[in-house]
Amino acid sequence: MDTTHIHLLLDRIREAQHMQGAMLLDIAERQEDALRFLQAIFRGVREKPAKPSPLAGLLPKVAPLTLAQYSASALLLLYVLKGGDILTAAQMLGQLFGGP
């Protein structure tokens, strides 16, 4: 290889390095924009007081009912396992929770 080819290769390498540097600067600018955007969202979330969920008042009322349903179902399962009739157990469960 003569010196002309070496100079051309070095010029191409230098141009590629300049292009990579420009791309890295562009990436850094985009990351700064994204960081500013996230900080603005974070500030907005911190400044607004949290609204209570409409379901928050419902949970204390529903939890005991669910526990009662699980307990009744477990008792009826024991009834069936001890030799009781499954249809009678289902009918008792339906009557217990407002069924026909």
How far apart are alpha carbons 27 and 21 in whole angstroms? 10
**Predicted pLDDT of residue 10:** 92
pLDDT for 100 beyond 60 = no
What is the predicted pLDDT for the residue at 70? 75
- Which pLDDT score is estimated for 85? 72
Other CB atoms within 10 Å distance of the CB of residue 74: 10
87, 90, 96, 99 alpha-carbon torsion, rounded to 10°: -90
Q: Which whole number is the average pLDDT over 28-45?
A: 86
Q: What phi, psi does 84 have (nearest 5°)?
A: -75, 165
Q: Which helix (H) or strand (E) holds 98?
A: none
pLDDT at site 17: 93
Overall pTM > 0.85: no
Query: Given this model, what pLDDT does residue 61 score?
Result: 66
Q: Across the chain, how many H-helices and E-strands are there?
A: 3, 0
Structure confidence by residue, pLDDT tens digits, 37-95: 888 888 877 666 667 666 666 666 666 666 667 777 777 777 777 777 777 777 776 77
